[in-house]
Chain A
Amino acid sequence: MSEAAMQNRLFIPRSCLTTEGNKTGSWRFLRPRYEDKTAPCAAGCPAGEDIPKIEMLTAQGFFKEAWETILQENPFPAVCGRVCFHPCEGSCNRGEYDDSVAVHTLERFLSDTAARYDFRPSFARLPSRKERISVVGAGPAGLAAAWFLTLLGYSCDVFEASPEAGGVLRWGIPAYRLPADALRQDLRRFEREGIRIFTRRPMDRQFFAEAAGRYQAVILACGHGRGQSLSIPGEMEVGVIEGLDFLRMIRASEMAVGGGTEAVIVNGAGCGRSMDTLGEGEAAAEGSEFPGKIGEGALSSFDGLTAVIGGGNTAVDVARSVIRLGGKAVICYRRRRQDMPAFADEVRMALEEGVALEGLVSPAAAGRDGEEIVLSLRQMIVAGMEGSGRARVIPDGDKMKEVRVRRVIRATGAGPEESWMLPAVEGTKVLALSHCRLVSGEGKLVVVYAGDLANATKSVAHAIASGKEAAIALNALLREGSEAVIPRLQACAVGDGPALSMEVCLGGERRLRSRHIVSYTEINTDHFGFAPRITQPRLLVEERVRSFAEIDLKISAGLAMKEAERCFNCGLCNGCDKCWLYCPDVAVIREGEARRIHYDYCKGCGICVVECPRNAMSLGEGEGEG
């Protein structure tokens, strides 16, 4: 044995100098970078809400900031938290993992929280401009347009025919889905932002002549408020009631209850009366069958069976309202249940509440037999499928059936009050966009058709999308000319569009995000665990059918945070620091909330990018950007 070994020598390399002199970043071929991307929910939201950010802030307990994030893209969180059909949840990546995030429930929670603490939002807003814009119709589209134009610096006047603002939100959607208080919660902000809403100001041709002198543009968003006739023999004779009128009458009764001043009586035999006459105290007393003063409980005659014709949300709203008024309802629809355009959840709840559904029948004639109406229904059969996935139906030979009902309410689609409200389809001065139509008319007045007048899909979210598109397009047109409209819209697109972002339009941070829509396969699910989706608490069926009280109940902050934590935050860095934790070269630097890569030492192994649970990082060649 050598002496050295006997002494058990240990000669090893050990250095107390820093290794920072070895700039291993020079070995790099691929370069990771932080790159926020677009979440599928945000692109799927017609209003383009920044949902991953909303849920991130909610999970972190920043409820006000989360609520303000909604408001940047949508002035109606209290409304949409209740009535939106939440296409976001349908495109949620988490849906492929266990169950989609309850974005809808969380939006409602944030609006409840904002109301509870009376949050006052702060906004990015451009300096005032000289142009004035007039908006016709205080429904979701018109109000959204006014809201976004205000943020863009324009002063807006809104003209509304009925006694209160809200349009379909106020008069069309039943209170059990959208109570008036919830709507007022959103509407109050319009006043605070200086948007003037003139009610009881019906629209006519004369308006344009006057508007041309005072406004640079008119946003025409007066909706589809006039129901379409069934065009069957006996329709007029038996007094088929228009569904929208029926819903309007019920909502108007809240004014009678609330204010106690305006008696509301609806003419049951007519085909609808425009709201400019409603609520004026004018009594249309000849509504022989129909009860007046619903709000005061004069409903004794509303018994027996009511047939509701149609398969959309209006039909379901009508049928569920009939149940709440103490009657019975059967929905007669020409296709099958799964083909109904109404939201599936609404149909399910309607059936729970006792609404009957008669599928594959089409009304053929109506006749009166004493107190009852005999409704003849043509039986239909499925004869293949349409491109949209709905069944195509044809009459089943001559097969007929009859139902005896006390009244018939139709909900088979609607159109504008006046035909001239429909936009021109084409022409040199017509610019047809996804959700609105710009027409540069004679003189300088620009007319923008928005909302149901220009939307293929008639939903609240699409109406808001229309208002936003109208505002951004109009701004581009007024500032830079018609050539700029399309490029400006494209620059504000969320993902592939057509959803648009006002934050991007106003130059906010969201403009830095990649348009790439994060797919489920790009989520590193190793960093997540299965967690059950929150169940929306609701009134019991027994409670529901007795009143128009709101069905969906509030949730606690604890439950909301837990649900928000389920969000993958697709494409959005939430500071989880997995990159920092996994970087083998200690090349991720944390500076407060921000993270950056120290490229002197990053070897480009890409582990950070792979480990990023939410695809908020990218790996690429080149040393250029980011």
Chain B
Amino acid sequence: MRRVIEGSHAVAEAVRLARVQVTSAYPITPQTHIVEILSEYCEKGALKARFLRMESEHSCLAALIGAQLMGVRTFTATSSQGLAYMHELLHWAAGARLPIVMAEVNRALAPGWNIWTDQTDSLSQRDTGWIQLYCEDGQEVLDSTLLAFRLAETVNLPVMVVLDAFYLSHTYEPVDIPTEEEADRFLPPYAPRFRMDTAEPCSFGALVPPGDYMEMRHDMALAMEDALMQLVEIEGEFTRIFGRRHGPIEAIDCNDAEIILVTSGTITSTARLVVRTLRERGEKIGLLKIRLFRPFPTAILRETIGRAKKVAVIDRNCSFGAGGIFAQELRAALCNLDPRPLIYGYIAGLGGRDVTPEVIEEIYRRTQSTDRPEAEGVWIGLREAL
């Protein structure tokens, strides 16, 4: 059934369809709409979950770690400082191999205080062992969230479904909402591979000496690598039921492109328009959207954009001293290719600043007109004098 709903509500619908059993919440703009809807669902009985109002995001995740260990499906949502506050437990959840699903609404980190979109919050958690999916529109938010539970439970790693603040979280779009029967067909009840049981007392996550720790971590690394193939397989099943596929990446007009734009999140939609317009004028431009950031789909990327001359990466984030984070990752992914495209890194749209078609076209033109990147990260759209 197609309904016009907010991106936040798309998350909540997916959580409802996933029949989550425990959800924890601590309010933070722009995530709050998600847990508000969930609290209503829990109140009305549309979602038969225990809704935990916690005193902090740190406790939110701690509570879910405990709940998930008891063998139930769990969910929480947060943003920005809230995610930063969870940091220690992000590592813990992944290391404990708990398939927790979280919606992360990208929001700039303070100071200066800013509630608008910026990817630095989620990207600075890239090494915590969480699978990360970046969404472009409301439909993808719903689909990714539903899929996240299946993926997480398959590889026993937590999944972060990432969506842009306001451009996605607070924007109403038509979204096809599956029926409960369809959702149940895709996502069976959670069958934990291990759980706490008071009948057989044991502790999880206890001391691991050097003789075993590396093997444990290697196992995690293997599971993370496996997640890419699992995603493809699970999405195959998803497509059979729902008729939609988003893929780990999406390539548009990349086959013959000389310059390929690389985007993530809602900037992709704007870039699609720019690419279509420039293609009509005969420009050899392509667009690559990265949806799966962890695990980073290195092999697929090499195959898809390795033959282009130039790749222009638009980062709505910044790793200070190293430029945009998607650009870094792409450089690393392609550096052992020979020949390989030049990587142009652009930083745009921080703290919710609009990335318009004009901004994207400027990026394209600059890439086209320079033989070599001007810098590792070029800031686009800065005001000239403050």
Contact partner of B202 (CB less than 8 A), chosen from A6, A8, A10, A16, is A16
**Is there an interface contact between A12 and B229, defined as CB atoms closer than 8 Å?**
no
Complex alpha-carbon distance, A9 and B202, angstroms: 20
| Residue numbers in A under 8 Å from B202 (CB-CB) | 14-16
Within 8 A of B (CB), among A1-55: 1-2, 4-6, 8-16, 19
Complex alpha-carbon distance, A8 and B201, angstroms: 25
Complex alpha-carbon distance, A19 and B201, angstroms: 11
Contact partner of A13 (CB less than 8 A), chosen from B200, B216, B222, is B216
Within 8 A of A (CB), among B192-209: 193-194, 200-208
**Is there an interface contact between A16 and B193, defined as CB atoms closer than 8 Å?**
no
Interface check B16, CB cutoff 8 A: no
Instruction: Categorize the interface residue count of chain A.
Output: 10 to 19
- Contacts A19-B203, A19-B206; is A12 near B96 (CB within 8 Å)? yes
- Contacts A11-B216, A13-B207; is A2 near B222 (CB within 8 Å)? yes
Complex alpha-carbon distance, A6 and B222, angstroms: 9
Complex alpha-carbon distance, A402 and B208, angstroms: 98
| Residue numbers in A under 8 Å from B155 (CB-CB) | 8
**Is there an interface contact between B194 and A14, defined as CB atoms closer than 8 Å?**
yes
| Residue numbers in A under 8 Å from B206 (CB-CB) | 13-15, 19
**Is there an interface contact between B201 and A5, defined as CB atoms closer than 8 Å?**
no
**Is there an interface contact between B97 and A9, defined as CB atoms closer than 8 Å?**
no
Interface check B176, CB cutoff 8 A: no
Complex alpha-carbon distance, A11 and B204, angstroms: 12
Task: Give 1 or 0 for each of B216-257: 1 = CB within 8 Å of chain A CB.
Answer: 100100110110010000000000000000000000000000
Interface check B120, CB cutoff 8 A: no
**Is there an interface contact between A12 and B194, defined as CB atoms closer than 8 Å?**
yes
| Residue numbers in B under 8 Å from A6 (CB-CB) | 226
Complex alpha-carbon distance, A8 and B226, angstroms: 8
**Is there an interface contact between A4 and B204, defined as CB atoms closer than 8 Å?**
no
**Is there an interface contact between A12 and B223, defined as CB atoms closer than 8 Å?**
no
- Contacts A1-B225, A1-B229, A5-B222; is A13 near B208 (CB within 8 Å)? yes
A3 to chain B: closest residue by CB: B222
Interface check B31, CB cutoff 8 A: no
**Is there an interface contact between B193 and A10, defined as CB atoms closer than 8 Å?**
yes
B215 to chain A: closest residue by CB: A11
Interface check B264, CB cutoff 8 A: no
B204 to chain A: closest residue by CB: A14
- Contacts A4-B219, A8-B154, A9-B219; is A14 near B225 (CB within 8 Å)? no
**Is there an interface contact between B223 and A5, defined as CB atoms closer than 8 Å?**
yes
| Residue numbers in A under 8 Å from B156 (CB-CB) | 8, 10
| Residue numbers in B under 8 Å from A10 (CB-CB) | 97, 156, 193-194, 219, 223
Task: Give 1 or 0 for each of B150-163: 1 = CB within 8 Å of chain A CB.
Answer: 00001110000000
Complex alpha-carbon distance, A13 and B204, angstroms: 6
CB distance from A27 to the nearest CB of B (A): 15
| Residue numbers in A under 8 Å from B222 (CB-CB) | 2, 4-5, 9
A6 to chain B: closest residue by CB: B226
**Is there an interface contact between A13 and B205, defined as CB atoms closer than 8 Å?**
yes
Contact partner of A5 (CB less than 8 A), chosen from B96, B216, B225, is B225
| Residue numbers in A under 8 Å from B200 (CB-CB) | 16
CB distance from B201 to the nearest CB of A (A): 7
Complex alpha-carbon distance, A14 and B196, angstroms: 10
- Contacts A13-B204, A15-B206; is A2 near B225 (CB within 8 Å)? yes
CB distance from B236 to the nearest CB of A (A): 16
CB distance from A73 to the nearest CB of B (A): 42
B229 to chain A: closest residue by CB: A1
Q: How many residues of B contact A (CB 8 A)?
A: 25
**Is there an interface contact between A11 and B229, defined as CB atoms closer than 8 Å?**
no
B203 to chain A: closest residue by CB: A15
| Residue numbers in A under 8 Å from B215 (CB-CB) | 11
Complex alpha-carbon distance, A390 and B208, angstroms: 75
**Is there an interface contact between A5 and B203, defined as CB atoms closer than 8 Å?**
no
Complex alpha-carbon distance, A16 and B202, angstroms: 4
CB distance from B298 to the nearest CB of A (A): 13
Most buried by A among B154, B194, B216, B226: B226
Within 8 A of B (CB), among A499-527: none
| Residue numbers in B under 8 Å from A1 (CB-CB) | 225-226, 229
CB distance from A385 to the nearest CB of B (A): 49
Contact partner of B219 (CB less than 8 A), chosen from A11, A15, A19, is A11
CB distance from B100 to the nearest CB of A (A): 15
Complex alpha-carbon distance, A10 and B96, angstroms: 10
| Residue numbers in B under 8 Å from A5 (CB-CB) | 222-223, 225-226
| Residue numbers in A under 8 Å from B154 (CB-CB) | 8
B228 to chain A: closest residue by CB: A1
CB distance from B282 to the nearest CB of A (A): 41
CB distance from B322 to the nearest CB of A (A): 30
B207 to chain A: closest residue by CB: A13
Within 8 A of A (CB), among B280-295: none
Within 8 A of A (CB), among B170-215: 193-194, 200-208, 212, 215
CB distance from B190 to the nearest CB of A (A): 15
A19 to chain B: closest residue by CB: B203
CB distance from A6 to the nearest CB of B (A): 7
B230 to chain A: closest residue by CB: A8
B156 to chain A: closest residue by CB: A10
Complex alpha-carbon distance, A232 and B194, angstroms: 97
Complex alpha-carbon distance, A258 and B216, angstroms: 93
CB distance from A4 to the nearest CB of B (A): 5
A9 to chain B: closest residue by CB: B219
B98 to chain A: closest residue by CB: A12
| Residue numbers in B under 8 Å from A11 (CB-CB) | 215-216, 219
| Residue numbers in B under 8 Å from A8 (CB-CB) | 154-156, 223, 226
| Residue numbers in B under 8 Å from A15 (CB-CB) | 202-203, 206
B216 to chain A: closest residue by CB: A11
Within 8 A of A (CB), among B86-103: 96-97
CB distance from B215 to the nearest CB of A (A): 6
Complex alpha-carbon distance, A414 and B379, angstroms: 94
A13 to chain B: closest residue by CB: B208
Complex alpha-carbon distance, A426 and B305, angstroms: 106
Complex alpha-carbon distance, A46 and B154, angstroms: 71
| Residue numbers in A under 8 Å from B229 (CB-CB) | 1
CB distance from A109 to the nearest CB of B (A): 39
Complex alpha-carbon distance, A507 and B226, angstroms: 73
CB distance from A242 to the nearest CB of B (A): 67
CB distance from B196 to the nearest CB of A (A): 10
Complex alpha-carbon distance, A5 and B215, angstroms: 13
Complex alpha-carbon distance, A449 and B156, angstroms: 84
CB distance from A524 to the nearest CB of B (A): 14
| Residue numbers in A under 8 Å from B226 (CB-CB) | 1, 5-6, 8
Complex alpha-carbon distance, A2 and B221, angstroms: 11
B205 to chain A: closest residue by CB: A13
B193 to chain A: closest residue by CB: A10
Complex alpha-carbon distance, A70 and B291, angstroms: 74
Task: Give 1 or 0 for each of B255-279: 1 = CB within 8 Å of chain A CB.
Answer: 0000000000000000000000000
**Is there an interface contact between A12 and B97, defined as CB atoms closer than 8 Å?**
yes
| Residue numbers in B under 8 Å from A12 (CB-CB) | 96-97, 194, 204-205, 216
Complex alpha-carbon distance, A8 and B225, angstroms: 11
Most buried by B among A5, A8, A9: A5
| Residue numbers in B under 8 Å from A19 (CB-CB) | 203, 206
**Is there an interface contact between A16 and B205, defined as CB atoms closer than 8 Å?**
no
| Residue numbers in A under 8 Å from B207 (CB-CB) | 13
CB distance from A276 to the nearest CB of B (A): 72
CB distance from A607 to the nearest CB of B (A): 12
Known: A10-B97, A12-B205, A14-B204. 19 other contacts (CB 8 A): A2-B222, A2-B225, A4-B219, A5-B225, A8-B155, A8-B226, A9-B222, A10-B193, A10-B194, A10-B219, A11-B215, A12-B97, A13-B204, A13-B207, A14-B194, A14-B203, A14-B206, A15-B202, A16-B201
For the complex of A and B, 10 pairs with smallest distance between CB atoms: A5-B222, A5-B226, A11-B219, A16-B202, A15-B206, A13-B208, A15-B203, A11-B216, A12-B97, A13-B206
Q: Can you give 10 A-B contacts (C-beta < 8 A)?
A: A5-B223, A8-B155, A9-B222, A10-B97, A10-B156, A10-B194, A12-B204, A13-B204, A14-B202, A16-B201
